[in-house]
Amino acid sequence: MGLFYFMKYFLHDSNAFEDEKVAMLFMEYGYEGLGLFYTILEKLSKQEKPIKTSVLKMQLKVGKKLNKCWNFMESIDIISSNNGETFNKQLLNYSEKYKIKKEKNLKRISQWRENQDVEENVTHYQSVRNADKEKKRKENISKVNILDSEFDEWWDKYDKKVSKDKAISKWNVLTNEEKQLALKIVQDYVNSTPVKQYRLNPTTYLNNKSFNDEIIIRSATTSYKPNVSERNFTQLASLKYIEPKRD
């Protein structure tokens, strides 16, 4: 892309009559002088480099009259000639700055593309990691469901529906071996305590790990007699709370 497309930023374009040298050119040669000057700038901006003076004059059809204007522009240094080439110092300076800016933009674009590639790789890596996490999460849920089903089995066999949530919390802290043992002997414990009110509450049973205790199975011919502790428990359970009268 030539600098012609950026001429609106060129100082002589945007502030022409505020420039002393351009004002001098206008005073000496009027709009004809300005027309020649800006046409020269347009040609130079398209090339982005000095142009052979003879070629430029031929393209612009510079005759004797315009050649005087040309010489005047060189004398006030708004165009310059060196080694048979014509250029504008400010335009060359602008062109160099533009090239530097262009190179920086290309580097930024290249860096941005590299970052995009890195982000895509990271996103892909994160997607893989997230897939692994999701798989583990489902496996954990599956394990929890299995454990819950084991508790439900134990809970149904224990057959004393008291404080289930508390019992679950106690169940969850047991090891797998302890859970299997509790499941294994629960029916024996229930058979040893046929009177449900004398059976330990589920939470107490699990908290004390009573599944490790010896189970005494009473014979069917022997009538069940509760011990002192069980009798005291029954008596306490039968007491009713009477709220004291208030004056």
Annotate 21-55 with DSSP letters as a single string.
HHHHHHHHHHHHHHHHHHHHHHHHHHHTS-EEHHH
- Per-residue confidence (pLDDT) for residue 50, from 0 to 100: 87
- Per-residue confidence (pLDDT) for residue 67, from 0 to 100: 92
Residue type, 35: G
Specify whether the CB–CB gap between 153 and 184 falls below 8 A: no
Query: What are the average pLDDT values for consecutive 10-residue runs of the chain, which has 247 residues?
Result: 43 64 90 90 82 90 90 90 85 68 78 78 63 69 59 91 90 91 90 88 92 75 55 56 53
- b (16+ CB within 10 A) / e for 204-235: ebbeeeebeeeeeeeeeeeeeeeeeebeeeee
197: in domain: yes
- Per-residue confidence (pLDDT) for residue 246, from 0 to 100: 57
On whether both 151 and 81 belong to a single domain, the answer is no
Rounded to whole angstroms, the Cα distance separating 244 from 236 reads: 19
- Per-residue confidence (pLDDT) for residue 45, from 0 to 100: 80
Angle at 119 between CA 116 and CA 122, to 5 degrees: 155
On whether both 10 and 81 belong to a single domain, the answer is yes
Token pair of 81 as six digits: 């000639």
DSSP code of 85? E
Of 70, 87, 104, which residue constitutes the final position of a domain?
A: 87
Of 53, 87, 121, which residue constitutes the final position of a domain?
A: 87
121: in domain: no
46: in domain: yes
135: in domain: no
Report the domain count for the chain: 2
Q: Could you tell me the CA-to-CA distances from 75 to 114, 156, 177, 182 in Å, in that order?
A: 51, 110, 104, 110
- Per-residue confidence (pLDDT) for residue 81, from 0 to 100: 86
Domain that holds residue 35: 3-87
Specify whether the CB–CB gap between 36 and 69 falls below 8 A: yes
33: in domain: yes
- Per-residue confidence (pLDDT) for residue 132, from 0 to 100: 72
174: in domain: yes
Given the structure tokens 């027309």, which residue do they identify?
A: 35
